[in-house]
Amino acid sequence: MHDGRTLVEARLERAMGQLVRPVQYAEGVPLVLSAWHVPGEPVPVDQAL
């Protein structure tokens, strides 16, 4: 039986190094949220916009 363990481990290590680790501790970005408490539904489109 063919053992592809070495190949699989190399692919996983490459994926971790190229995709996961660079963004694991990426710089944070401030998040601003706002909300509109709807007085009743359905809300007309012109009022919602």
For the chain, how many structural domains are there in total? 1
d(CA 46, CA 49): 5
pLDDT of 9: 95
42 within a domain of the structure (yes/no): no
3 within a domain of the structure (yes/no): yes
pLDDT of 49: 81
22 within a domain of the structure (yes/no): yes
Helix (H) or strand (E) holding 24: helix 21-24
Q: Which residues contact 2 (CB under 8 A, 6 or more apart)?
A: none
pLDDT of 1: 64
48 within a domain of the structure (yes/no): no
pLDDT of 29: 86
pTM reported for the whole predicted model: 0.47
33 within a domain of the structure (yes/no): no
37 within a domain of the structure (yes/no): no
> Residue ranges of the chain with pLDDT lower than 70?
1
17 within a domain of the structure (yes/no): yes
Domain of residue 17, residue span:
1-27
45 within a domain of the structure (yes/no): no
